[in-house]
Amino acid sequence: MPGSHVIPEPNAYRCPIEHCRDVCDMSCLRVGLKMFDMASDGAPAAVIAEPVISAGGVIVPPAGYFDQFQSAALERGML
């Protein structure tokens, strides 16, 4: 969909940015938000997130992931 962005999933087993093998330090969230900020050309409207990501298996984000994600979304004015 035009105007949509995908943030890398917090997968410690297969880290999408090949940084944190076996222990997710949420670099994927920081990198994903930087990519979003660089690619975004207007005010963001909303964010949609899966609490348990099922497309790549069953990926459960680490504790605190959604707290940081929510803070970042609110800073950017997203619902």
Q: Contact 28/12 with Cβ under 8 angstroms?
A: no
Predicted model pTM: 0.81
DSSP string, 33-48: HHHHHHH--S------
Q: Mean pLDDT throughout 66-71? A: 95
What's the pLDDT tens digit per position in 12-22? Answer: 888 877 777 78
What's the pLDDT tens digit per position in 41-66? Answer: 888 888 888 889 887 688 899 999 99
Residues of the chain above pLDDT 70, percent: 99
| Distance from C-alpha of 73 to C-alpha of 59, rounded to nearest angstrom | 21
pLDDT surpasses 80 at 2: no
